[in-house]
Structure 1
Amino acid sequence: MKPQDRYKQERDESKKARYQQIVQAAESVFFRKGIEGATMNDIAKEAGIGVATVFRYFPAKEQLVTVLADGIMEEIRITFADIAEQDVTCLEKIGLLFDYFISLLEERRSSFIKFLEDLHLNVAHARGLYGDVSEHGIAGRKIFAIFTAMIEEGEKDGSLRTDLPPEEMLITLVNAFGLFASKLAYQKNVLMLPSDVEPEQQLLLVKEMMMEFMKAKS
């Protein structure tokens, strides 16, 4: 390799590493302080670099918000796709989706749910501050397409009850379960009323009830 080519390669690798360093620092700060409470100075301090360097890679905090939101949505899309490829019935796939939502109660995952809640709270001016969040929207459409394919499977494999429209039933129940899991994950980061029932147990109970409600009647 020519010296100039090696230099270019090393420089590109250094830029990529610094980019990831800043993104990871931003994730930690946003998850800890929230979007509105975080500053570029906080992110620079977390990364151990000068704030001017952060601005050189990301001229505005909102660009970092978009990068993180896109990454989270892509992670969710991959999870949905992996579940969709399992060689099990539609009902069992829905159960796996519920298990994924329950996993959001884990410490780091509950933090990124809090981040998404913060993002959605700012949805009214999200286009102005965070751009069009294009990849976020694309991933969302892909997730819905995957879920639609699951519904079509459920209409054919006999695992679901037939006295209710499958699409309406699944969309309603999965949305309700996902929102409940999201709220429980979010509340692990804020003050809430004391409860004798752990969030995970609450979700397992709701999952059991919903699975029983959805399954085909013999």
Structure 2
Amino acid sequence: MTQGLREKNKNARYQSIVSTAEQLFLERGLDSVQMQDIADAEKIGIATLFRYFSRKDSLIVAVAIQNLERTIPVFQQIALSPKSAYERLEDTLNYVLANQTQSRSNSTKFREAFESYASFSKEPLPNIQDYIDTQKQVSLMLGPIIEDGQRDGSLRQDISIKESIMTIINAYGIFGNNIVLKSEITYLEEIQPEIQQKLLKEMLLSYVRAK
């Protein structure tokens, strides 16, 4: 077997392990799934699994990174579209809304579970900096919206565009995660989660929209 083919097979196995682990984590929870469960689902020996990931926490972080990386092409496409900065910001929030509400979004569920898991960890998770760097890469996708918002007149010029856009996206994402994933305990009678999300979107957009 050639070096290139071995590397390709290794990468394919790596991706398969990560995908399998993500599905098991979603079905059973991060704490309940053991490395043996993942090895069994992959039909590989536990020693083989440990050659790829020496600890379960390493695998959890790898799943989180892959999960987050799936959003990068979409954010990039939105940010580089020929629309005004305001329209692209609205498209970004629409994507966040759609991503959260589609089948209660497995991606959103995992990220919420992961960030809670990481925050309660007694020590930093292995390779957590790689996850943080991926978050920064997602944030950089918003650069063209921020830059054009300072030029095209579609956003207010009397506020800090960068801080406002980043705050809006973070606040909208956090609110959506809570109200969609925890709807059974945060549900307000006669006000469905989707309605609350759309109302908040309008409120946030009205703050930055040029008059």
Question: TM-score category by the smaller chain?
Answer: 0.7 to 0.9
Query: Does the Cα contact within 8 Å between 1:34 and 1:115 map onto a contact in 2?
Result: no
Q: Which residue of 2 aligns with 1:111?
A: 106
Shift of 1:185: 3.7
Q: Which residue of 1 aligns with 2:86?
A: 91
Q: Which residue of 2 aligns with 1:29?
A: 24
Map Cα deviations across residues 179-209 of structure 1 (whole Å, 9 max, x no partner).
1122234326xx4255433323322222233
Aligned: 1:202 with 2:167: no
Distance 1:156 1:48, change over 3 A: same
Find the aligned partners of 1:67 and 1:74 in 2 and give their Cα distance.
Answer: 11
Find the partner of 1:78 among 73, 95, 106.
73
Distance 1:144 1:193, change over 3 A: closer
Q: Which residue of 2 aligns with 1:187?
A: 182
User: What does 1:7-22 correspond to in 2, within 5 Å?
Assistant: 11-22=6-17
One-letter code of the match for 1:167?
Answer: K
Structure 1 unaligned regions, length at least 5:
none
Query: Does the Cα contact within 8 Å between 1:127 and 1:133 map onto a contact in 2?
Result: no
SS in structure 1 opposite 2:139? Answer: helix
One-letter code of the match for 1:106?
Answer: Q
Find the aligned partners of 2:19 and 2:193 in 1 and give their Cα distance.
Answer: 28
Map Cα deviations across residues 98-156 of structure 1 (whole Å, 9 max, x no partner).
1111122223x732223222322243576946313233222222223332442221111
Distance 1:172 1:22, change over 3 A: closer
* TM-score, L = length of structure 2: 0.82
Find the aligned partners of 1:193 and 1:126 in 2 and give their Cα distance.
Answer: 26
Distance 1:166 1:185, change over 3 A: same
* TM-score, L = length of structure 1: 0.80
Aligned: 1:212 with 2:197: no
Shift of 1:63: 1.8
Structure 2 unaligned regions, length at least 5:
none
Query: Does the Cα contact within 8 Å between 1:159 and 1:215 map onto a contact in 2?
Result: yes
Q: Which residue of 1 aligns with 2:154?
A: 159
What percent of counterpart residues are identical?
A: 30
One-letter code of the match for 2:83?
Answer: V
Query: Does the Cα contact within 8 Å between 1:126 and 1:132 map onto a contact in 2?
Result: no
Find the aligned partners of 2:118 and 2:127 in 1 and give their Cα distance.
Answer: 11
CA RMSD of aligned residues (A): 2.7
Q: Which residue of 2 aligns with 1:66?
A: 61
